[in-house]
Structure 1
Amino acid sequence: MKKILVPTDFSEKAAYALKVAAHLAKKNNATLYVLHMLELPLHLATAGSSGELPEAIYFMKLAHQKFEKLLQQPYLKGIDVQETVEFHQAFDGIIDSVKKHNIDLIVMGSAGATGLKELFIGSNTEKVVRNADVPVLVIKKDMETLNVENFVFASDFGSEYKATFEKALSFATSFDAKIHLLMVNTPNKFITSHAATERMEKFASKFDIPNCTYNIYNDDTIEHGIMNFSKSIDADLIGISTHGRKGLAHFFNGSLSEDLVNHALRPVITFKT
């Protein structure tokens, strides 16, 4: 992990992500790319419209002033930080930056109940989580560091998730974390404990996992099961696989209850299949 991207709108929840990204950058001696997107009308962002170009320049200068203040934060000291201001739609700009800079990890902020609700029903964060080819770490509250002792990886442990679990395993072992493999049983998708354990053990046998537990959790929905199990062990991080709409829609279908949202304050990292 040598290149970390943090999109920012200079909000409080974006600062949550930047703090954690800074911690990871120091831990891995990585470069931090901090990206701000100016979503201006196209005619303001092009030199062809000279009459209105000064307006675009004004917003560009304002963004750089905010960057100047942001980069003075103590937690960024000693880190190689590359600031970028782009005229682009936020989602497209983030994806383009990932390709342009060969990014290894995206860190984004999302605050509290409202943040999670927005995350999974159509915000830019949701689009990035669904479509990014690199892992996306979503931070939901203010935390100076990310210390991962207990990492939950939720899946149905089909063979198509082997490649993503390999990425999750690498991330977890960089923290020497205990990995809790989790399969959630629901009334509509039931599997016996014996069959579930057998499936997880067969899946895990393909990897060298130094510290691992196998868990079957019964709940009314997969979403509730992931969040409730994670709460029960006080997990530090939840990991899931995604493969476009199928992967994330399977776990987070956009109809989360208020109670579930309130339980979802721990970080989540997604890995594209």
Structure 2
Amino acid sequence: MKRILVPVDFSIQSENALKTAAYYGRTFDYEIVAVHMLELSTAMMNNSNTTKETVLYLKLAENKFNEFLDKDYLKDVKVTPILKHYKVFTELNTLYNEEKIDLVMMGSKGATGFKEFLIGSNAQKVIRHSNVPVLVIKDEPLDHGFKKAIFACDFTDDSIGPYKRIKEFCDFIGLQTKMIYVNTPGKSFLSSAEMRNTVKNFFDKANNNSDHLEDVSYISDYTIEAGITNYAKSYDADIIIMTTHGRSSFSQIFDHSITEDVVNHVNIPVISFKILPKSERK
């Protein structure tokens, strides 16, 4: 059985993710691992004088968590609730490994402007550190599943591994997927022939049939983010699929993540797949 981890903070956004996860739990036999991250100070955890207060806080949190999970749409789905004292999102990777998580599904209302520059969104932080795919649900739950997706790919060698994992995921859930290449002005600009040659070489290296060349749409826009979001609207996509290197927050200042920008700004779900370092690739 595959396992979906859903971070729960009792917000409407986390409930949207939970409802979406419930659909996939029923339809594809996924188990939901719901995790609530407690915000207990180190002093409270380590000070023996506050033991009773800590126990009471934990009990209240547990009761609230159980009440939140007592929903009709979860009745026929296997749900495992977990309370963790995590303070930073990098620690979630430990939980992914311990619980053998296949997919993270979380809600988000995004971030813009000064807030985005300084701290970003929680979804952005999870994407940056997660070694498993992260599906971000926005304004509405997708409790009827996804039908149409666009996969924005740069068709470089780094994207071959994620492409294979994405194809397996889409085939498993029956997701109709359209791959797109976004061509922008500047040093990365390619002619039509160069784009098609890049895509053909990609499929050849990925051991896939070059007939898939005809399944790729070539988009021209001023930025990659604009190309992705504009095509998603015209294609009436339910979800956007992207890859990410998961750069650190410091490096984001100098070389920001397009995936995180899209997650923060669009109003439809986005799923990201990590590009693994060369040392971790099979």
Q: Is the 8 A contact 1:34 1:84 kept in 2?
A: yes
Structure 1 counterpart of 2:184, from 186, 189, 193: 186
Match of 1:251 among 258, 273, 276: 258
Q: 1:132 aligns with which of 130, 133, 138?
A: 130
Distance in 2 (alpha carbons) for counterparts of 1:210 and 1:79: 40
2:193 maps to a residue whose letter is H
Give the Cα separation in 2 of the matches to 1:269 and 1:64.
30
Q: Say if 2:259 and 2:272, in contact at 8 Å, map to a contact too.
A: no
1:209: Cα distance to partner? 9.7
Amino acid at match of 2:191: T
- Per the TM alignment, residue 145 of structure 1 is displaced from its structure 2 partner at its CA by 1.7
Cα displacement (A) at 1:208 = 6.1
Distance 1:252 1:187 in 2: 19
Tell me the distance in 2 between the aligned counterparts of 1:32 and 1:80.
Answer: 6
Give unmatched runs, 5+ long, in structure 2. 276-282
User: Which position in structure 1 is the counterpart of 2:278?
Assistant: none
Greater alpha carbon shift after TM alignment, 125-134 vs 11-20: 125-134
For 2:5, the equivalent position in structure 1 comes to: 5
Listed as ranges, the matches of 1:190-201 within 5 Å are 190-201=189-200
Worse overlay, 118-127 or 148-157: 118-127
Show the 5 A alignment for 1:116-131: 118=116, 122-131=120-129
TM-fit CA distance, 1:16:
0.9
Q: Distance in 1 between matches of 2:245 and 2:126?
A: 12
The whole-number CA distance in structure 1 between the counterparts of 2:78 and 2:68 is 14
| Normalised TM-score (structure 1) | 0.86
Aligned twin of 1:105: 103
Match runs of 1:3-152 below 5 Å: 3-46=3-46, 49-111=47-109, 118=116, 122-152=120-150
Q: In the alignment, is the contact (CA less than 8 A) between 1:118 and 1:126 conserved in 2?
A: no
Q: Secondary structure at the match of 2:232?
A: helix
Residue 271 and residue 144 in structure 1: after superposition, are their counterparts in 2 closer, same or farther (change >3 A)?
closer
Q: Name the CA shift for 1:252/1:170 in 2 (closer, same or farther; >3 Å).
A: closer
Deviations 1:5-33 (A, max 9, x none): 01111111111111111111222212211
Residue 266 of structure 1 aligns to a residue whose secondary structure is: coil
1:157 is the counterpart of 2:159:
no
TM-score, normalised via structure 2 length: 0.84
Q: Secondary structure at the match of 1:239?
A: strand
> Which secondary structure does the structure 1 equivalent of 2:49 belong to?
coil
Q: Is 2:245 the counterpart of 1:236?
A: no
- The Cα of 1:122 is off from its aligned counterpart by 3.1
Report the equivalent of 2:208.
207
Deviation at 1:253, TM superposition (A): 6.8
- Opposite residue 230 of structure 2, the aligned amino acid is N
Question: Aligned with 1:151: secondary structure?
Answer: strand
Q: Secondary structure at 2:190's aligned position in 1? A: coil
Identical aligned residues as a percent: 35
Give me the whole-angstrom Cα distance separating, in 2, the residues matched to 1:28 and 1:111.
Answer: 27
Q: Which moved more, 1:93-102 or 1:234-243?
A: 93-102
How far off its partner does 1:36 sit? 0.5
